[in-house]
Amino acid sequence: MGMVTKSAKFKIGGELPVCRMGYGAMQLTGPGVWGPPDDEDNARAVLRRAIELGVNFIDTADVYGPDDNERTIRDALYPYPAGLVIGTKGGLVRAGPATRENPGISMNGSERHIRGAVEGSLRKLKLECIDLYQLHRIDPVIPIEETMGVFRALRDEGKIRHVGLSEVGVEEIERARSVLEIATVQNVYNLVTRMHEDVLAYCEQNMIAFIPFWPLHSGHLARSEAMHDIAKRCGATTAQVALAWLLQKSPSIILIPGTSSIEHLEQNIGALDVELSAADIDALELMVGNQS
């Protein structure tokens, strides 16, 4: 694995330097990712604290709320500090709150939908160009090449700058790259969910940022009994160990842990200072196992 400098920035699309500890804003919505957060003052405070602590990459999506999450980011941070990169997403439609049985979303990668989504995100975020625009999911009835053609046109029109994908395999990334450059891939990945290791390796080889979603396994890794002893030995919390493991896994990984708590935010950013030894990493991987 080699030494990875955690403080080194990753240049998205080879040109936008971001701290490898970003922030995922999805938790700053109502229950089931539906509606605005219960405590809007707190949501704005979390976002401002993230910036204060050096975060300059924020992940959001038009379906978080829907719409409310992008507005919360604008309300908290506009006018945006220099160097802030906001990555948003389009291509999904949310009909209602997510529940355990029904995530409440459907895919739409049509030109009409994507163009409307980009215009909406530009308006809500009060931006003239979106630095990173990610296809949230591939529409099963529209070939990825067709949707990427729309993204390429939007890029050429100056509405979006770099393009990312989410929940994709290597073959899908290659099909997308036959149409335009891909700067980022956002797939589920964490200590216990490692089925996308081939995608991570591909991203690393091709200078594509790999942005694991659910880096804390939706919070379960912050409560892991199995990791307790290693965390204690490192003088860290289990959440920090889970995040440090990802940071050390690959220099192409950019983290977007989600939290609605300033205390957890500060703790998560502190993972940049946690150093896991090779023995710790072996023990963690053995102990927690790959449950994917």
Ligand X SMILES: NC(=O)c1ccc[n+]([C@@H]2O[C@H](COP(=O)([O-])OP(=O)(O)OC[C@H]3O[C@@H](n4cnc5c(N)ncnc54)[C@H](OP(=O)(O)O)[C@@H]3O)[C@@H](O)[C@H]2O)c1
CB of 8 to ligand X, least distance (A): 22
Where on the chain is the footprint of ligand X (CB under 6 A)? 24-27, 59, 136, 166-167, 186, 213-219, 222, 239, 256-261, 264, 267-268
Give CA–CA dist 291/39, Å, rounded. Answer: 35
- Output 153 or 226, the one with its CB closest to ligand X: 226
Are 91 and 139 in contact by the 8 Å Cβ rule? The answer is yes
Catalytic residue among 64, 133, 189, 202: 64
Cβ distance to ligand X smaller for residue 30 or 219: 219
Q: Are 30 and 63 in contact (CB under 8 A)?
A: no
Backbone angles phi, psi at 18, to 5 degrees: -125, 145
Residue nearest to ligand X (CB): 258
In angstroms, what is the minimal distance from the CB of 216 to ligand X?
3
The CB-of-123 to ligand X minimum distance in angstroms stands at 20
Alpha helix (H) ranges present in 12-110? Answer: 40-52, 68-77
Distance CA(67)–CA(70), nearest Å, equals 6
User: C-beta of 106: minimal distance to ligand X in Å?
Assistant: 14
Local structure of 16: helix, strand or coil: strand
Residue among 196 and 217 whose Cβ is closer to ligand X: 217
Which are the contacts of 17, defined by CB distance < 8 A and separation ≥ 6? Answer: 9, 10, 11, 83
Q: How many helices (H) and strands (E) does the chain have?
A: 10, 11
CB of 279 to ligand X, least distance (A): 24
Pairing of strands 23-24, 57-59: parallel
Residue 63 CA to its chain's centroid (Å) = 14
Smaller CB separation from ligand X, 31 or 96: 31
* Element at 282 (helix H, strand E): helix 278-288
Residue 64 known to be catalytic:
yes
How is residue 134 annotated by DSSP?
A: E
What residues are annotated to the active site?
A: 64
